[in-house]
């Protein structure tokens, strides 16, 4: 970014980090400071080829095992040499074809996503999209079309913006990929998912999305801020597959474990 633009941004957001309030300093990824950027726990392979679950989750929960994370022997890991899937995906594959998240929904990344969403800090979409590009660009099929997951209309009206759409705009620009936010609509409001368990989340969003037939034959990549149980992304994927999308992937900034 040009010097004058940074100076202008510093006027709007005094050059201190919206997450930790420190001055931005070395390694800054405006408006995130270098320390918060470095403190983000990235999700790296090995991970489930389907849902992107990092296999170190299994390693952490297997204190009685000396097996290495993510390799044959991890629960649900299938095949040798072939792409591996986690136990839950092997038992009941999600409606989306693949999902990748840039980092864990914890620490500075959780704080940054919450500030973006609830703290009216849309400028945070830029470093969060950069994180997605750094960590997940390789997962994108060539020629894919990005679609941000829509908010319910009332939710977007009270927030003033859709954080997923902001991130998607930056990711699309970074990749030079097309963005088609109108391929998905959310005609009816649903209760907030926060307090619900996985089954209740699926029931809550069932039928909430309508896909455009313009998505027929396309490789669609859904963009959202956080993947929790995957219920919302799964419902979007179902709607897109129903109109004939060739594949539906999911890119998120963060993933809840």
Residues that bind Zn ion (CB under 5 A): 17, 19-20, 33, 36, 48, 50-51, 53, 86, 89
Q: Which CB, 126 or 186, lies closer to Zn ion?
A: 126
Least separation in angstroms between residue 194's CB and Zn ion is 23
Q: Which CB, 48 or 136, lies closer to Zn ion?
A: 48
Maximal CA-CA distance, the chain? 56
How far apart (Å, rounded) are the C-alpha atoms in residues 5 and 9? 6
- How far, in whole angstroms, is CA 3 from its chain's centroid? 30
Cα dist. 41→27, 28, 107 in Å? Answer: 16, 16, 8
Other Cβ atoms closer than 10 A to 108: 20
Least separation in angstroms between residue 13's CB and Zn ion is 12
Least separation in angstroms between residue 36's CB and Zn ion is 3
Q: Which CB, 109 or 239, lies closer to Zn ion?
A: 109
Least separation in angstroms between residue 89's CB and Zn ion is 3
Rg (the chain; Cα; Å): 19
Q: Which CB, 89 or 171, lies closer to Zn ion?
A: 89
Helical spans, DSSP H, in 95-162: 107-118, 125-136, 153-159
Least separation in angstroms between residue 54's CB and Zn ion is 10
And the tokens for 136?
Answer: 């997940």
Q: Which CB, 100 or 241, lies closer to Zn ion?
A: 100
């Amino acid at each position: 970014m040009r010097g004058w633009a940074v100076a202008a941004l510093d006027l709007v957001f005094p050059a201190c980090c919206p997450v930790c309030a420190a001055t931005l300093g070395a390694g800054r990824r405006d408006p995130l400071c270098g320390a918060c950027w470095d403190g983000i726990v990235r999700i790296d392979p090995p991970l489930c080829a389907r849902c992107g679950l990092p296999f170190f989750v299994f390693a952490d929960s297997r204190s009685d095992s000396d097996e290495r994370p993510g390799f044959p022997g991890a629960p649900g890991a299938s095949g040798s040499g072939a792409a591996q899937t986690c136990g839950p995906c092997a038992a009941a594959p999600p409606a989306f074809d693949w999902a990748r998240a840039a980092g864990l929904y914890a620490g500075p990344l959780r704080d940054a996503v919450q500030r973006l969403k609830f703290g009216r800090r849309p400028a945070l979409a830029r470093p969060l999209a950069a994180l997605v590009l750094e960590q997940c660009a390789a997962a994108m099929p060539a020629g894919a079309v990005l679609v941000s997951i829509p908010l319910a209309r009332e939710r977007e009206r009270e927030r003033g913006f859709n954080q997923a759409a902001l991130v998607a705009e930056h990711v699309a620009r970074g990749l030079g990929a097309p963005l088609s936010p109108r391929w998905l609509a959310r005609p009816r409001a649903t209760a907030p998912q926060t307090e619900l368990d996985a089954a209740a989340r699926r029931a809550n969003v069932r039928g909430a999305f309508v896909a455009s037939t313009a998505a027929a034959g396309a490789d669609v990549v859904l963009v959202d801020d956080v993947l929790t149980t995957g219920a919302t992304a799964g419902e979007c994927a179902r709607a897109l597959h129903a109109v004939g999308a060739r594949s539906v992937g999911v890119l998120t900034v963060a993933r809840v474990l």
